[in-house]
C-alpha cells in the first residue's frame, strides 16, 4: 500500500461525548466517569486502567507494546487509586504506589466494551445490491477514494475498481494499493482458464455453485480479487450472494438449523497429486458477542462428513439443504458479467461467488488478500475499530 499519512480523525460520536464527561467518582476497585450526554456512568476497573497506562514506563510508544508487567496487578497498592480528576479531554489518576497515569478520555471511550457497536453492515439481495465502482486513476492516487472503497467493502462486502488496464501486473498494482498479495499454493497473482492447471473446477469451463473459497484452509482467505482479462464466448457470468443475508433468513426460518451449522463442523478439503488441505470448522463462525463473522460455505469442496454424530446426520443434511435453497434462491443471487478493466474485490468471509458455465476462451487473473492484512488496511483508514 502506498505510504499515506496515518488517517486518524476522532470520530464525531466521541468528540461530543468527550466534552460531556464532567465528573469522576471512585468506588471499591473501580472508577466511574459521568457524562450528561450518556445518561449513564462509564465504569472502568482499576486493574484495567492500571494495565492500560500509556506512560513511557508502562508502554513503549515507538513499538506500541506494553512494558508494564501484568503480574504487578497482583499487588493491591498498584491498582489502588488515591486521587482521580477530569480536565478537558484528560483523566489523571494518582495510584497508591505513587505512580501517575494520564488517559485521553476519547481513547477510553473508543476502547471500552461499554460503547462497542458493530460496524453497520448493508445486507443485500439481487434486488437492492448497488456495487460501487472506483475509477483506477482516482483509486491509485486519492486516499479519500481508497477510504470510500474500504467503507463499501466493510458495509457491502463487494466493490469494483474500474478502468484497470487488463493485465496481471496492473491488477497486482491495484491490489497492492490496498494490501499485499497473499501467497497460497495457487501462487500469488494467478491467471486461470479451463486448462485444469490445478485440481479444481475453477480451471474448467463448468458452472460453479456459489461458494466461499478455501474452506479447506484453517483460516479462509480474507478477500478474493478477480479480473476477467479476456472472454470470447458465451456464459461465464459470476454469481454474487450475500452470505450474511442468507444466514439471517436461515436463522429466522430455522433457529435449530442455524445453531447446528454454527456448532457442528463441515470439513472442507483440497486434494491433488502433492497436497491434501483440510479444515474442520463449522460453516457459520461467530465472535464473542455471538455475531456472525465468517461463512465457510462450499458444497463442492466438502470433505467426507465424519464430524457429525450418526444420530444427527439426517437433521444435519436437512439444515444444509435448507441453507443451500436460500443461497440458490434467485432473489439472493446477483448476476454479473466481469469484463476487462473491472477488478472485483469480494469479502470471502461473507460473500459467496460462483460462475455460470462458459464457452470459448476465457482468461481470468486475480489473487487473494489475507484477512488480517485487509482489516489492518481498513483500520489504518479508520474504517474498522
Ligand atoms: C481462485 N483460484 C482460481 C486460484 C482457485 C480457485 C479455487 C476454488 C476452490 N474450489 C476454493 O473454493 O477455494
Ligand atoms: O472463474 C470465475 O469467474 C470464478 C472461479 C471461482 O469460483 C474461484 O476462483 O473461486
DSSP secondary structure letters along 28-93: TTEEEEEETTTSSPEEEEHHHHHHT--STTTEETTTTEE-S-GGGGGSGGGG-EEEEEEETTEEEE
Nearest to 226 by CA among 161, 134, 293: 161
**What is the ipTM metric for this complex?**
0.98
- Ligand 1, atom nearest to 298 Cα: 12
- State residue 6's pLDDT score: 43
Which ligand has the minimum distance to the alpha carbon of residue 302? 1
- State residue 115's pLDDT score: 83
pTM for the structure as a whole: 0.93
Question: Residue 168 in 3-state DSSP?
Answer: helix
**Considering only CA atoms, which residue is closest to atom 9 of ligand 2?**
202
Q: Do 211 and 350 form a contact (C-beta atoms < 8 A)?
A: no
- State residue 9's pLDDT score: 42
Whole-number Å distance between alpha carbons of 207 and 11: 45
Which residues of the chain does CATH 3.30.2020.30 include?
A: 15-115
Whole-number Å distance between alpha carbons of 309 and 261: 13
93 beta partners: 84, 101
Residues of the chain with pLDDT under 70: 1-16
Average pLDDT for the chain: 93
Q: Is 365 in the pocket of ligand 1 (CB under 6 A)?
A: no
Backbone angles phi and psi of 278, in degrees to 5: -150, 145
Q: Is 109 in the pocket of ligand 2 (CB under 6 A)?
A: no
| Cross-sheet strand order for the sheet of 223-232 | 133-135, 158-162, 343-347, 223-232, 361-369, 190-192
The second-level CATH assignment, the architecture, of 133-380 is 4-Layer Sandwich (3.60)
- State residue 3's pLDDT score: 44
Which residues of the chain does CATH 3.60.130.10 include?
A: 133-380
**Considering only CA atoms, which residue is closest to atom 10 of ligand 2?**
213
Give the DSSP letter of residue 227. E
Q: What is the CATH number of domain 15-115?
A: 3.30.2020.30
Note the maximum CA span of the chain. 77
Which ligand has the minimum distance to the alpha carbon of residue 268? 1
**Considering only CA atoms, which residue is closest to atom 11 of ligand 1?**
213
Element (H, E) at 295: strand 292-295
Q: Is 353 in the pocket of ligand 2 (CB under 6 A)?
A: yes
Whole-number Å distance between alpha carbons of 181 and 366: 10
Centre of ligand 2 from the C-alpha of residue 209, in Å: 10
Q: Do 244 and 123 form a contact (C-beta atoms < 8 A)?
A: yes
Give the DSSP letter of residue 183. P
Q: Is 238 in the pocket of ligand 2 (CB under 6 A)?
A: yes
- Ligand 1, atom nearest to 190 Cα: 4
Centre of ligand 2 from the C-alpha of residue 126, in Å: 19
- State residue 13's pLDDT score: 54
95 beta partners: 81
- State residue 225's pLDDT score: 98
- Ligand 1, atom nearest to 187 Cα: 4
Q: What is the pLDDT of residues 152-187, one digit of tens each?
A: 999 999 999 999 999 999 999 999 999 999 999 999
Question: Residue 229 in 3-state DSSP?
Answer: strand
Q: Is 151 in the pocket of ligand 2 (CB under 6 A)?
A: no
- Ligand 2, atom nearest to 353 Cα: 7
211, 336, 353, best to mutate for ligand 2 pocket (most atoms within 8 Å of CB)? 353
- State residue 120's pLDDT score: 82
Amino acid at each position: 500500500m502506498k505510504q499515506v499519512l496515518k488517517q486518524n480523525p476522532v470520530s464525531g460520536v466521541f468528540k461530543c461525548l468527550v466534552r460531556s464527561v464532567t465528573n469522576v467518582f471512585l468506588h471499591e476497585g473501580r472508577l466511574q466517569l459521568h457524562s450528561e450526554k450518556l445518561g449513564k456512568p462509564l465504569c472502568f476497573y482499576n486493574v484495567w486502567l492500571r494495565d492500560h497506562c500509556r506512560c513511557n514506563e508502562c508502554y513503549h510508544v515507538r513499538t506500541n507494546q506494553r512494558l508494564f508487567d501484568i503480574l504487578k496487578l497482583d499487588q493491591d497498592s498498584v491498582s489502588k487509586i488515591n486521587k482521580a480528576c477530569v480536565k478537558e479531554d484528560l483523566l489523571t489518576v494518582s495510584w497508591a504506589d505513587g505512580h501517575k497515569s494520564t488517559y485521553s478520555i476519547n481513547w477510553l471511550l473508543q476502547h471500552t466494551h461499554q460503547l462497542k457497536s458493530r460496524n453497520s453492515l448493508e445486507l443485500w439481495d439481487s434486488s437492492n445490491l448497488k456495487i460501487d465502482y472506483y475509477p483506477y486513476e482516482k483509486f491509485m492516487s486519492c486516499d479519500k477514494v481508497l477510504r470510500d472503497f474500504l467503507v463499501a467493502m466493510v458495509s457491502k462486502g463487494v466493490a469494483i475498481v474500474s478502468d484497470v488496464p487488463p493485465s496481471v501486473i496492473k491488477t497486482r498494482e491495484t491490489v497492492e494499493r490496498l494490501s499485499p498479495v497473499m501467497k497460497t499454493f495457487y501462487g500469488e497473482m494467478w491467471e486461470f482458464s479451463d486448462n485444469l492447471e490445478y485440481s479444481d473446477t475453477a480451471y474448467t469451463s463448468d458452472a460453479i455453485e456459489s461458494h466461499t473459497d478455501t474452506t479447506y484452509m484453517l483460516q479462509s482467505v480474507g478477500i478474493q480479487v478477480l479480473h476477467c482479462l479476456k472472454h470470447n464466448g458465451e456464459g461465464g457470468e459470476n454469481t454474487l450472494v450475500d452470505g450474511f443475508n442468507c444466514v439471517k433468513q436461515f436463522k429466522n426460518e430455522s433457529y435449530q438449523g442455524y445453531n447446528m451449522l454454527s456448532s457442528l463442523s463441515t470439513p472442507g478439503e483440497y486434494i491433488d497429486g502433492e497436497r491434501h488441505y483440510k479444515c474442520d470448522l463449522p460453516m457459520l463462525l461467530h465472535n464473542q458477542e455471538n455475531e456472525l463473522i465468517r461463512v465457510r460455505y462450499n458444497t463442492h469442496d466438502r470433505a467426507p462428513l465424519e464430524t457429525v454424530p450418526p444420530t444427527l446426520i439426517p437433521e444435519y443434511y436437512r439444515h444444509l439443504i435448507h441453507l443451500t435453497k436460500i443461497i440458490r434462491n434467485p432473489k439472493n443471487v446477483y448476476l454479473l458479467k466481469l469484463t476487462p478493466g473491472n477488478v472485483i474485490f469480494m469479502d470471502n468471509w461473507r460473500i459467496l461467488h460462483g460462475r455460470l458455465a462458459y464457452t470459448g476462451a476465457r482468461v481470468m487473473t486475480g489473487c487473494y488478500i489475507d484477512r488480517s492484512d485487509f482489516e489492518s488496511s481498513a483500520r489504518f483508514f479508520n474504517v474498522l475499530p
